Structure 1
């Protein structure tokens, strides 16, 4: 959902001292080793190293399966058999993709959503094969199976060499005695030819070797982390849902919100007409019928009834005007947001300053949503804020329409409580809008809405 709290617009929340990895508990723990020294043996570093080590055998299996099945299927396309073989190859790659997403989630902490399922209009083997071959997700899984092997070979070699040489050199003071005792040489040979050789055999050289090993050991987790970052990008980009599919899901969800909102608005209009103007018009018709019957018998009573009916007509007309204004006021169509919002502000129970800085008008639909947004927010101020003043600012930033409503009331507004703000946030989200609420207890409350311009 596109609702945020206290982010952006110059109103950050929190002081950075109480939560997450830097909060109480995490910051109070005391480690015997400094961070650079304990990083090589931390659980995260070991999981990432294990991920790289597993990538090579899995990469070999995926590459062998993908290339073998794809080549076989492509070769058999001259017959019908190539189609089911290719479909089986893509299905197998999707199965490997499921394994890779689980492995990335478990060892790297990379959360990747499941890709979009196959879209099948019919049931049966032919429909399944057709959907598999038409699925861009399936082909992205095949591409991952092919390119993952060369990358896993590179990662495996780099990580294993840094890890092995680092720990071997760091532990050299513990095992250098092997050379004079079993190899017949003074120590680890660095250089040697027919005339002379250089061995690491005195205390200074042994200490320097261990120091170099320590540097290698401390650098290895960060090198492995950089390698697994690339792995994470590959898993997200090729094994997760595509941007287009994600956008389609968002639009389908937004379409449902729009339909539900439109249905709710229609029910509200029907209820207002039934309980308000319609009821008054029915009573008016009955009163006029009685007045007609009394016109010849008691003209004075008939005149009084007509006068009362005249008052009911005025009331019904006012209710119809209010209802029409709530749907889409004429002043908004004729004169734009400035005049329409000024009219809304004049009906608020607290003084409201309105500042609309727009050189042109946005699309009519966006203009209507902006009007409805400000109307809802000012209504909330009248009912709940207990404020003494409020301000409404409307301006344009590039291709976005910005709305900010501020009041000096009691604060405490929260979208997550399922209030009218939640419905307002859903309505804005349906048109790619954003609602930002910053309302600490005791106020002030600042609500910022952002809408696409679409002029």
Structure 2
């Protein structure tokens, strides 16, 4: 038993006890605001009271969640946009009242001041009472002389001998308080997780909201890229083609040799524009991916890559087109990053399907150090996969090798 650690655990319950008292106030405030909704005043009071209550409960989430693996994440639904006027106040009030987390917060603020206070204060109370028993031989005369309570548990301390009995009871009381502190604090944290953690439905809503936002942002960025490529590439070449043809039309009768040279340049420019359009189409959805499937599309990537890439694929069928596209572009981005940053001599790409998930693993013998938090490439892959409930795992120690594994749940046709 680590006495110092257990004592610190017990003392750590004091902030939680203080929060429980504060939560009683905010519970009363929020319930009062709700009761005034019919009078119209609650429309303005509920958002303010709920936000204050949520701030207090979130502190409890952080303190209690620190004792649990994974902590206690916030379960609240995203706030609607603020537009101003009564419509905005009503939207915010509706957002709060229809969020299940609001009612779970109220349940917590009702239960915690009773059950929670017992769990966090009981070990501290036992420790303090145990210390009091240990000091009873020194204090009993002053307590009796001042007319105070001289009972310790079931022992009435009236002399030195009964004071020693109290001391004997104080030792196990102190030890029980120390030993019970970690277990009772964990029980309090589990209670907090039960009432304050997101439900499965809330987790799905939050995940869908987050991935939807990321998908919208990614789609907007992709549209901007396509627009930029068209404007700076094919469109500029087509404008030049029109100008060249206009000049050729004017020179047709005067200088046929000049027209012949202009038409030759125009033919080259049209070939370049066609190549750029084909590259743009491949960037949106490669024809080989649509015609031959994911495995052959990745093999085509390997052939086009400047790296030495080996591809092993065992896919018994084809996934939906968006899933295949997500995996294809993820592998493409990984190969591009490896060529730019890792300088590998060889790359292995494995594709397979198992347990209802399509998986891809890209391994290289480069110098490693890949970190999603330091670059947009890997973060972009994570966002692309998250739209399909997919994940990306990165293992890339400095010095290499690097292994990136991605998976997306899907069914094969």
The TM-score bracket by the shorter chain reads: 0.7 to 0.9
Contact 1:281-1:316 within 8 A present in 2 as well: yes
Name the CA shift for 1:54/1:200 in 2 (closer, same or farther; >3 Å).
Answer: farther
Q: Which residue of 2 aligns with 1:12?
A: none
Task: Give the structure 1 partner of residue 341 of structure 2.
Answer: 384
| Equivalent of 1:166 in 96, 121, 130 | 130
Question: Could you say what the CA RMSD is over the residues aligned between the two structures, in angstroms?
Answer: 4.8
Alignment of structure 1 residues 267-278 onto 2, 5 Å: 267-278=224-235
1:277-314 residue CA offsets vs partner (Å, 9 max, x unmatched): 33444444555566667777777776666555444444
Query: Partner of 1:41 in structure 2?
Result: 7
In the aligned structure 2, how far is the partner of 1:429 from the partner of 1:397? 19
Distance 1:444 1:216 in 2: 52
Q: Deviations over 1:420-444 (max 9, x none)?
A: 3333333333443323333233222
Distance 2:91 2:239 in 1: 61
Tell me, yes or no, if structure 1 residue 226 matches structure 2 residue 186.
Answer: yes
The Cα shift of 1:330 comes to 1.3
Using the TM superposition, give the Cα deviation of residue 350 of structure 1 relative to its aligned residue in structure 2, in angstroms: 1.4
CA distance in 1, matches of 2:234, 2:153: 101
Q: Is the 8 A contact 1:167 1:214 kept in 2?
A: yes
Preserved contact between residue 124 and residue 177 of structure 2 (Cα < 8 Å):
no
Report whether the alignment pairs 1:450 with 2:407.
Answer: yes
C-alpha displacement at 1:85, in angstroms? 8.6
SS of aligned partner of 1:355 = strand
Conserved? CA contact 1:167–1:217, under 8 Å: no
Tell me: CA distance 1:163–1:92, structure 2 relative to 1, closer, same or farther (3 Å).
farther
Query: Residues of 1 paired with 2:232 and 2:120: CA distance?
Result: 74
Q: Return closer, same or farther for 1:172/1:222 CA change in 2, 3 Å cut-off.
A: farther
| Pairing 1:358–2:321 present | no
1:16 is matched with none
Counterpart CA distance in 2 for 1:453 and 1:316 is 38
SS in structure 1 of the partner of residue 12 of structure 2: helix
Does structure 2 retain, via aligned residues, the 8 Å contact 1:276–1:316?
A: yes
The separation in 2 between residues aligned to 1:407 and 1:370, in whole angstroms, is: 18
Of structures 1 and 2, the one scoring higher in RCO (CA 8 A, sep 6+) is: 1
Report the alpha carbon displacement of residue 46 of structure 1 after superposing the two structures with TM. 0.9
From the superposition, tell whether residues 140 and 212 of structure 1 become closer, same or farther in structure 2 (CA, over 3 Å): closer
1:215 is displaced (CA, Å) by: 2.9
Indicate the SS of the match to 1:123.
Answer: helix
Structure 1 window deviating more from structure 2 (320-329 vs 241-250): it is: 241-250
Deviation at 1:349, TM superposition (A): 0.7
Conservation of the 8 A alpha-carbon contact between 2:107 and 2:195: no
Task: Answer yes or no: is the 8 Å Cα contact 2:10–2:124 preserved in 1.
Answer: no
Distance 1:91 1:430, change over 3 A: same
Equivalenced residue count is: 400
Cα deviations by residue, 1:53-88 (Å, 9 ceiling, x for unpaired): 874x6687788x599969x96xx99xx67x979998
Q: Distance in 2 between matches of 1:157 and 1:292?
A: 95
Segment drifting more, 386-395 vs 206-215: 206-215
Q: Which consecutive unaligned segments of at least 5 residues does structure 1 have?
A: 1-34, 193-198
Q: Could you tell me which of 196, 206, 209 is aligned with 1:236?
A: 196
The answer on 1:216 being equivalent to 2:176 is yes
- Say if 1:59 and 1:145, in contact at 8 Å, map to a contact too: yes
Contact 2:13 2:185 in 1 (8 A): yes
* Whole-angstrom CA distance in 1 between matches of 2:78 and 2:256: 78
CA contact (8 A) 2:13 2:120 kept: no
Q: Once the 2 structures are TM-superposed, how far is the Cα of residue 408 of structure 1 from its aligned partner?
A: 1.3
* Structure 2 partner of 1:327: 284
Normalised TM-score (structure 1): 0.67
Q: How many Å separate the matches in 1 of 2:389 and 2:73?
A: 23
1:261 is aligned to: 218
CA contact (8 A) 1:90 1:141 kept: no
Q: TM-score, normalised by structure 2?
A: 0.73
Stretches of structure 2 that go unaligned for 5 or more consecutive residues are: none
